[in-house]
Amino acid sequence: MPTALITGATSGLGAAFARRLAADAFSLVLVSRDALRLAQTADQLKLRYGVSVEVLPADLGTEEGLSRVESRLHDGVDLLVNNAGFGHRRHFPDVPVEDEVRMLKVHCEAVLRLTLAALPGMRERDRGAIVNVASAAAFFPRGTYSASKAWVVNFSESAATEIRNPRIKIMALCPGFVRTEFHQRAAMDSGSIPGFLWLKADNVVRAAMRDLALGRRVSIPDARYKAIVAVGRLVPRGLQAYVSQRIGR
Reported confidence tier of residue 230, pLDDT bands at 50, 70, 90: confident
pLDDT tens column, 82-111: 999 998 888 888 899 999 999 999 999 999
For the chain, where are the alpha helices, taking DSSP H only? 12-23, 35-49, 63-74, 97-104, 110-125, 143-163, 182-185, 201-213, 223-232, 237-247
SS3 142: coil
SS3 182: helix
Does residue 192 surpass a pLDDT of 90? no
Beta bridge partners of 195: none
pLDDT tens column, 34-64: 999 999 999 999 999 999 999 999 999 999 9
Task: State CA 224 to chain mean position distance.
Answer: 20
> In the chain, how many H helices and how many E strands?
10, 7
Reported confidence tier of residue 186, pLDDT bands at 50, 70, 90: very low
The predicted model scores a pTM of: 0.89
Reported confidence tier of residue 142, pLDDT bands at 50, 70, 90: confident
Neighbours of 88 (CB within 10 A): 20
pLDDT tens column, 152-175: 999 999 999 999 899 999 999 999
Catalytic residues: 145
Domain that holds residue 214: 3-247
Does residue 240 surpass a pLDDT of 80? no
CATH of the domain at 210: 3.40.50.720
Q: 188 and 146 in contact (C-beta within 8 Å)?
A: no
Q: 77 and 29 in contact (C-beta within 8 Å)?
A: yes
Rg of the chain (C-alpha set):
17
Number of structural domains the chain divides into:
1
